[in-house]
């Protein structure tokens, strides 16, 4: 972490001695959180509350919401253990004794599509925010869509709210439908729980008269009602 402020790793998996959704004997890990104000590992408390993680003395260093990798300082405040937290099952497993040991356990899962994946560009948070603040409506819509789907980006952000409203004010019908569908999916998967963003989405959908918008509004409202 001292050499690089988070980002993608050269490997994409870690050997473990427990079974999980990624497979038997390994977990997927292709990136680490960085250290940025309001982002990365500094989001630990926000993410713990968001995903109802009750374990204390930890710092989250990677994860997608359904599971996390964390530094666990409970046993040793100086040299934290590395643990795997499964938020869906509500349990945790020790991976190894320290970060150096974690690096020794890292490896690359063989994938026939590796060459194809190498050509895929994954936008950074800065790029996504730049799109959202662009004067080009296509970039704004793309920024909002990507921001919504990027679990690691905080949704409590005025830039996101403003860009979201801008798409519904100036964007095409297809751009609005795409974003509405993304919101529906993320709310259904409980990866978006920010009430301000949800309320904004519903308010804008209620102003639309197209059948698609009415359907998305009703689906979101029904999903929220089921969760109460």
How confident is the model at residue 90, as a pLDDT?
Answer: 87
Whether the predicted pLDDT of 6 surpasses 80: no
Better-predicted residue by pLDDT, 23 or 1: 23
pLDDT of residue 115: 52
In the three-class reduction of DSSP (H, G, I as helix; E, B as strand; rest coil), residue 93 is classed as strand
Residue 40 and residue 75 in contact, taking contact as beta carbons nearer than 8 Å: no
Please, which residues have CB within 8 angstroms of residue 165's CB and are 6 or more apart in sequence? 200, 204
User: Tell me, what DSSP letter sits at residue 37?
Assistant: T
Could you identify the residue written with the tokens 């989001």?
A: 43
- Do the Cβ atoms of 145 and 166 come closer than 8 Å? no
3-state secondary structure of 121: coil
Share of the chain above pLDDT 90, in %: 57
Write the burial class of residue 89 (CB in 10 Å: 0-12 exposed, 13-18 middle, 19+ buried): exposed
CA angle centred on 103, ends 71 and 47, rounded to 5°? 30
Phi and psi, residue 44, nearest 5°: -50, -50
132-166 pLDDT, tens digit per residue, is 999 999 999 999 999 998 888 889 999 999 999 99
Instruction: Give per-residue pLDDT as tens, 59-75.
Output: 999 988 889 999 999 99
- Taking the alpha carbons at both ends of the chain, their separation in whole angstroms is 40
* pLDDT for residue 43: 86
pLDDT grade for 34, boundaries at 50, 70 and 90: confident
Angle at 138 between CA 132 and CA 143, to 5 degrees: 30
Structure tokens, 144: 């909002």
Cα separation of 220 and 106, whole Å?
Answer: 40
Amino acid 228: pLDDT: 73
**pLDDT for 69:** 96
Helix boundaries (H) for 83-157: 99-105, 114-118, 125-132, 137-149
Mean pLDDT (whole number) for 87-106: 91
Confidence tier at 112 by pLDDT (50, 70, 90): low
Give Dmax over CA atoms of the chain in angstroms: 59
Between 123 and 96, the higher pLDDT residue: 96
Residue 2 pLDDT: 44
Residues 78, 87 contacting (CB under 8 angstroms): no
């Amino acid at each position: 972490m001292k050499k690089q402020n988070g980002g993608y790793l050269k490997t994409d998996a870690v050997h473990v001695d427990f079974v999980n959704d990624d497979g038997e004997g390994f977990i997927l890990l292709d990136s680490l959180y960085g250290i940025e104000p309001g982002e990365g590992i500094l989001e630990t408390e926000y993410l713990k509350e968001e995903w109802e993680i009750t374990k204390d003395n930890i710092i989250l260093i990677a994860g997608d919401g359904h599971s996390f990798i964390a530094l666990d300082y409970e046993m040793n405040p100086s040299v934290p253990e590395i643990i795997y937290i499964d938020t869906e099952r509500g349990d945790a497993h020790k991976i190894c004794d320290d970060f150096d040991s974690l690096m020794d356990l890292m490896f690359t899962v063989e994938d026939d599509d590796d060459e194809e994946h190498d050509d895929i560009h994954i936008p950074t948070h800065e790029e996504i925010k730049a799109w959202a603040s662009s004067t080009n409506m296509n970039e704004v819509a793309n920024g909002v869509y990507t921001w919504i789907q990027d679990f690691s980006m905080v949704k409590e952000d005025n830039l996101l709210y403003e860009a979201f409203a801008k798409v519904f004010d100036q964007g095409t019908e297809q751009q609005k439908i795409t974003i509405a569908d993304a919101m529906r999916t993320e709310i259904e998967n409980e990866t978006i729980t920010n009430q301000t963003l949800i309320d904004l989405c519903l308010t804008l959908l209620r102003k639309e008269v197209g059948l698609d918008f009415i359907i998305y509004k009703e689906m979101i409202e029904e999903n929220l009602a089921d969760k109460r």
